[in-house]
Chain A
Amino acid sequence: MARYLGAVVCFAGLAVPALGAAQAAQNATLRRAQLAYDNLEYRQVLTLARAALRERLTGAERARAYELLGFTYGAMDSILKAVDAFKQLVLIDPERQLDPNRVSPKAYSAFDVALRQVLLVRQLRVDSVSFVGGQGAVPVRFTVTQPARVVARAIGTGGTVVIDSGAWNGQVNLRWPARLAGGDPVPPGTYTLVVDARLGQNTFSASQPIRVSHGRVDTVPSVTSLPGYQFLPETEIPPQSWRPVGLAFLYTGGALVGTLGLESSSLGSGSKRELGLVGGAALVTGFVMMLRKPAPRPAAANILYNRLLRDQIARRNQDIARENVARRQQVQVTVAPVPQVTPK
């Protein structure tokens, strides 16, 4: 029972990738081949798929027919034939990818072998990116299925610009600064990124249209503070003390002692009414000031700190001003891939 269940699951797995495409097939023979594949009637699949390939098919239908052949040969352990079928498939549709989780290992390995036996440039991708001209680059990546001499070019409004070239195999990552030979940013417009691969007499090209646009570089606003640094209060309120009344007492006492010392003995003891009036006022004022909240006084350390901070901010703003002058002369380059219309 367990073995029977496993076989059902295995066959179901083989059939899954074919489901979606079977619904899209317009050719009657191809549809029958798909139905036979779904029913595990492999010999009939071979007959019908080959027959379909002799008929007029669209590119997608032709690719589907070879795919059915590849899967069927794989299921029948005819690996070499499966590889041949898959080679035809990837030549028609180089971007075709199998999901290793949904196809049988035999079919997947046959597909993988087929990929390595034909020269392809696949999965050409250009990321959307925006940067200041001369200070960034456009990431370009693609896969070359065989060791080959590869040249990547951008062809468009600004002429043809060679991005890079070399002998590459497998995943290739390039960075295109989007500049002309003179160093200026490429003019805005639509470009086609073309990757040519050559191995002996075999050549293959892949392309991806991209749109290059220019914009103004954002200027940097001036700063009024530095992150992590705060202005400190430039005055501080000293703690209350007896100093006011002490000083008033000291000054009044000095006047009293001086008066007593200077008084002439021959003139007798002088009137203290005048000193009492003013000295009393000074003492009362000192006492009141002692009780009052002290006046804020300059905080020298904070003033120095704030001055240094202001100097730093001024220096930063000077740098920003210089940077903004340069930025106004720069251009913001934005590169975005243009979606390709898939032929039916």
Chain B
Amino acid sequence: MSRAALGALLLALALRPAAGQLVTVGPQFALADYREVASGLRYRGSGFGGSLWARRDRLSVEAAVVRLSLDPADGSAATTGFTATQVDAWVAYDVAAYASVEVGVLHRSADPEFDAQSVGAVRVGARSFYEIGPGATVVFRANYLAAPKFSGGGRAAISLDLGLGLDIRLAGRLHGTATYAFNRMNRKTNPGGTGEIDAPIQVSLARVGLALGL
């Protein structure tokens, strides 16, 4: 699914007033932990982003973008940090009152380009959600990251993404949101045709923010 098509879908869903439709949009603060290739190459950082969520009947879409400044963690072999921009998007369809199946995309780019792997993948998975109280919903998500593409090449047959989310209606249209995502990509590369070597990527990302219901 192209960005333009996704954007058009989101816009159409957001702007079309109908019964059963709900849209939330708001800013987020993010914390992240990024590891790549070996335990010695790890980064930690924070950043800001935003999210949008919309529902119409059984169909819901969610998109989040975050820009992270990642610096080498204590004991890291890295000497310089980098900036990462990650875009996540999902389209979900409720199959039960507490579960839905979803597809989406993941795209993370690094700047400078070769300081870390930029990656793009298709998400396929499911999520479970439950209202634990008035206006409070918890979400658990598991996605398989299919057909990942890395800027440095290579492949990752096993790539998974787990998520935990919380949405609380604080007052009226104001919501508080917190989401956690952990993704692991078993990337393998074959530099120079000398045989495959493991170059896994692991990211922990927490986003906390506010959202306004429209």
Contacts and interface: CB of A to CB of B under 8 A. Distances in A.
B114 interface: no
9 contacts: A255-B164, A264-B202, A267-B36, A268-B35, A270-B182, A270-B202, A278-B164, A282-B178, A285-B138
Interface string B129-172: 01011111011101000000000000000001011111010000
Contact of B206 (A245, A254, A268, A277): A277
A281 B166 contact: yes
Interface in B1-48: 31-33, 35-36, 38-39, 42, 44
A258 B182 contact: yes
Contacts of B198: 266
Interface string A9-40: 00000000000000000000000000000000
Interface in A273-330: 273-275, 277-279, 281-282, 285-286, 288-290, 292, 294-295
Contacts, number: 127
B132 A248 contact: yes
By Cβ-Cβ distance, the 6 closest A-B pairs, closest first, are A289-B133, A274-B206, A268-B39, A271-B33, A278-B180, A295-B134
Nearest to A278: B180
Interface string B169-189: 000000000111010101000
Given A247-B138, A264-B202, A279 B180 contact: yes
B interface, size bucket: 35 or more
B213 interface: no
Contact of B136 (A244, A252, A259): A244
Interface of B: 31-33, 35-36, 38-39, 42, 44, 128, 130, 132-136, 138-140, 142, 160, 162-166, 168, 178-180, 182, 184, 186, 198, 200, 202, 204-206, 208
**Range for the number of chain A residues in contact with chain B:** 35 or more
Contact of B138 (A251, A262, A277): A251
* Secondary structure dominating the interface of A: helix
Contacts of A255: 140, 162-164, 180, 182
A263 interface: yes
B166 to A, nearest CB: 5
